[in-house]
Amino acid sequence: MVLQDCVDLDALEQNARRVMRPESWVFCDAGADDEITVKENIVAWRKLKLRPRMLRDIVNIDTGVTLLGARVTTPVMVAPTGRHNLFHSEGELATARGSAAAGALYVMSTSGMNTVESVANAGGGAPQWFQLYMQPDREHTAALLDRCVAAGFKALVLTADQPAPGWSPRAYRTPVVARDDVRSVNMVGQPVARTAYDPARKGVVMFPTTYRDLEWLVNRCAMPVVVKGILRADDAMRCVDVGVKGIMVSNHGGRHLDTTVTTAEVIGEIASAVGRNAEVYVDGGIRRGTDILKALALGARAVLVGRPPLWGLAVDGAAGVQAVMEHLQDELVRAMQLTGTPTLADATPDLVKA
């Protein structure tokens, strides 16, 4: 599968919808409540305008970046999303292979349906991070952390913005039916994989993580810790004070709290506040190479994409994931060429006008 331009990516989205079961598509696509944030995430990046520099040497473009000590060839990561077996029979194993083939760092989700060991092995040694939902029992969480370290994961990403699940009327109308053979195999007891929108979880505080828990996690974890779901500079700085090495600016793709600020609106503020004290990343509505360049110019060290790799996974397995990530990388290179930006260090705030 080859994606030549944004039209092809849009077509891939529709192809993915055709091949997915209806409930799988809704699980992938839906947002919370009126789905305002889902839409505004995309629009916010497009509203930002680029101010290209002329007469620069752009014959050689370098998109290489170091992410918490791991050198990768692209600043575009695959965001943590759950239950990949709903989209392809190989699930996270195919996602890991496709990401590695594209030179992109993959962040595996706690709610994956393949073991951390098998996913690490599928990545063939490519850098991978693990996303964590903090469990109530610290002993069980610690055991999972140790498994991730032993498997070769390079960093831990704590999701902070889903202490309780949001609600999606669309997902409620087309639910993923829980089955005994579909389980979150890395969680304690390998529970049946229910989505956050399951009526049984409505209003339930599932992951009530606090700064005390974060401090414990930073001290206990042998990997650097990143906090995902930050939308405020004061929260970012408090996380850094605790010892966090990375801040992931995210509103969970608009999937839990509707009408939040978009990530495009706050990435600059948070990156400025954090400075060199931690690395800053951003996700939410990034669909084009120009979106990526804008995010980098506003202070992100890297970006993450969630839904597009799932479209590729559903249509063509590992090769589909690889095609999506390579397409975004190609678009980034072209945007850098056309704006006189030969390296990521040259992507500075003056490149963007609100």
> Mean pLDDT lowest for which of 1-5, 52-56, 171-175, 296-300?
1-5
Give the number of other CB atoms < 10 A from CB of residue 122. 23
Instruction: Label residue 89 exposed, middle or buried (CB < 10 Å: 0-12, 13-18, 19+).
Output: exposed
Phi-psi category of residue 69: left, alpha or beta, with phi > 0 → left and psi -120 to 50 → alpha: left
Which of 84, 88, 252, 256 does the annotation list as catalytic?
Answer: 252
For the chain, helix, strand, coil in percent to 5 are 45, 15, 40
DSSP three-state, residue 296: helix
DSSP three-state, residue 210: coil
| CA 316 from centre of chain | 20
Rounded to whole angstroms, how far apart are CA atoms 314 and 193?
19
| Residue range 225-254: mean pLDDT, rounded | 98
Q: Are 260 and 231 in contact (CB under 8 A)?
A: yes
Report pLDDT for 103: 98
What's the chain's average pLDDT?
Answer: 94
Q: Are 303 and 78 in contact (CB under 8 A)?
A: no
Rounded to whole angstroms, how far apart are CA atoms 83 and 179?
12
Report pLDDT for 190: 61
Report pLDDT for 203: 66
Q: Of the CATH numbers 3.20.20.70, 3.40.630.30, 3.30.470.20, 3.40.50.1110, which one belongs to the domain with range 6-348?
A: 3.20.20.70
Beta-bridge mates of residue 305: 78
Main-chain dihedrals φ then ψ at residue 335, nearest 5 degrees: -65, -40
Report pLDDT for 177: 81
Structure token pair of residue 218: 């930073």
| Residue range 40-67: mean pLDDT, rounded | 98
Rounded to whole angstroms, how far apart are CA atoms 350 and 219?
38
Report pLDDT for 163: 87
| CA 337 from centre of chain | 26
Q: Tens digits of per-residue pLDDT, 1-50? A: 778 776 789 999 999 999 999 999 999 999 999 999 999 999 999 999 99
Q: What are the domain boundaries of the chain?
A: 6-348
Q: Give the end-to-end CA distance of the chain in Å, rounded to a whole number.
A: 35
Give the number of other CB atoms < 10 A from CB of residue 220. 13
**Which contacts of 124-128 are long-range, i.e. CB under 8 A and separated by 24 or more positions?**
124/97, 124/100, 125/100, 125/152, 126/96, 126/99, 126/100, 127/67, 127/70, 127/72, 127/154, 128/96, 128/152, 128/153, 128/154
- Annotated active-site residue 140? The verdict is no
Q: Which residue has the tokens 């042998």?
A: 222
Q: Tens digits of per-residue pLDDT, 175-231? A: 988 777 777 788 766 666 667 777 777 767 667 789 999 999 999 999 999 999 999
